Amino acid sequence: MEAYLNWSRSQRGSESGLTEIRLKKGESIDKALRRLKKRVDREGTLKEVRNHRHYEKPSEKRRRRMKMARFSAMLSAKYAEM
């Protein structure tokens, strides 16, 4: 008997549109659900859905990306000195 746990994805270009895992023999539902949640987190599915909750103007998107780039540059400069 095979069982699947699915989570819908909003990303374009995905073939099935679902993230799915197969239950291993003798695996509890809780453990499988934990694996599914980890995979969804790794794929960034929920982050993508949250980003599309409301429209973001191109200028806001550019500003947000520049802010993230400044932050990551600051972090890499900080840890490059160590």
Query: 60 and 40 in one domain?
Result: no
Query: 2 and 33 in one domain?
Result: yes
Query: 61 and 33 in one domain?
Result: no
Q: How many residues in total does the chain contain?
A: 82
Query: 41 and 2 in one domain?
Result: yes
Tens of each residue's pLDDT in the chain, 82 residues:
455 656 554 445 445 567 888 899 999 999 999 999 999 999 988 888 888 899 999 999 999 999 999 999 999 999 988 7
Q: How many domains does the chain have?
A: 2
Query: 41 and 8 in one domain?
Result: yes
Is the pTM higher than 0.95?
no
CA distance 58 to 25: 48
Strands (E) across the chain are located at 4-8, 18-22
